[in-house]
Amino acid sequence: MKFRNLIAAATVAALTVTAHAATIIVPAAGTGAGANNSHWQSELTLHNAAPRAVPLSISFVRGTTVFGPANVVLPARKTESTADIVKNQFGLNSATGAIVIGVADREARSLAVTSRTFNVSANGEFGQDIPAVDATDALRTGDIAALNGASDIATTRFNFGVYVSDAASIDWELVRADGTVAATKNVTYTTNSHAQYNSGIETLLGAEPQDNDTVHAHVKSGRAIFYGSVINATGDPSFVPGIRTREDITINFTGVDLDENGSIDVRDNDGDGVLDTPVRITRSLFPNYFNVIAEGEFGEAVTLELVSAPGHTELLDGNTLIVIAGADVTGNSGEIVLKATFEGSSQFITIPLAFR
């Protein structure tokens, strides 16, 4: 059944998107002709476990173009599927992109999203599940997505892609099986955009693939979801998730000193480069000050560089941050991203903020 047949006009008219909405991403979906007279298509299935109807918005993002949204009401405890959703819901005959589902936070807990992209040909039907991802789980500054390629390139091709939830700068890197870096390329992306690179080692990175290649996607700024697919000669695909990793470096980010008295008030106890709890920032014309505590492996001084921040933020005296968050700062949260460098090794430090 097509989702457009589920639309209830009165309910849709009342549907509004608020700051408390969740976003669920299916990072790869499409429709169109394949090799040997085959046809690629994606099926989306939604289940509502709640005892009440759930309103949704569903969009399709191809490149920087957004189709939709289609506003849908999923009845209580019902399951609905749309075959070839890119064609049947959004009217496209040939396209690859991402499906973006908006739903209220409360309703997101009751929603189960699955998708399958498959190829239909004279050889049969071959497909792969494409997992849905909560936008809050997108990789962030400092993360590296590792995309493992094929173990045998003679009869396969390796596609990979990205959905960008917040404008991002990505360093793509080809890592051979022996650890050698064979090619690199930086690409910038806008918010709510999608890109897929078919045979991406050749087309994006300009290199010849080898057995057991791995593609690294370094997130230099922004937020993004990565995926890949290894497809054999019959058109049978195997989904390749973008695995979140980080480089092993020698910089220790301990936390922040909120009152500049030498003690650490908010810590990064798990050593992932992100404060465990947000720093509370008062919205006013008066500045908020705090110190960043970071050092080399054996206590050496590091150099900090401001990468991104909300409001008016400056880095003073090497490690002191001044933040002025006036009424123009939107939302209830934000983050400061710093680059810490020592003897050629760098780490991105993320300081989440809670505005009050």
pLDDT (average), residues 280-303: 88
What pLDDT is recorded for position 289? Answer: 92
Q: Which fold has domain 3-135?
A: Hypothetical Protein Tm1070; Chain: A (2.60.290)
Residue 271: pLDDT band with limits 50, 70, 90: confident
C-alpha count within 13 angstroms, C-beta hemisphere, residue 34: 24
CATH number, span 251-355: 2.60.40
Backbone angles phi, psi at 210, to 5 degrees: -130, 165
pLDDT tens track for 220-235: 889 999 999 999 888 8
pLDDT tens track for 39-63: 999 999 999 999 999 999 999 999 9
Q: Is residue 103 packed enough to be buried (19+ CB in 10 Å), middle (13-18) or exposed (0-12)? A: buried
pLDDT tens track for 124-179: 888 999 999 999 999 988 889 999 999 999 999 999 999 999 999 999 999 999 99
pLDDT tens track for 75-102: 999 999 999 999 999 999 999 999 999 9
In angstroms, what is the C-alpha Rg of the chain? 23
Model's pTM, two decimal places?
A: 0.76
Confirm if 354 and 325 have CB atoms less than 8 A apart: no
Sorted by where each begins, the domain ranges of the chain are: 3-135, 139-245, 251-355
139-245 has the same fold as 3-135: yes
| pLDDT over 90 percentage in the chain | 69
CB atoms within 10 A of CB 318: 11
**Ordered DSSP codes for 288-321:** EEEEEEEEETTS---EEEEEE-SSEEEEETTTEE
What pLDDT is recorded for position 7? Answer: 33
SS3 179: coil
What pLDDT is recorded for position 177? Answer: 97
> Does pLDDT of 4 surpass 50?
no
- Is domain 139-245 given the CATH code 3.40.50.2020 in the classification? no
pLDDT tens track for 155-164: 999 999 999 9
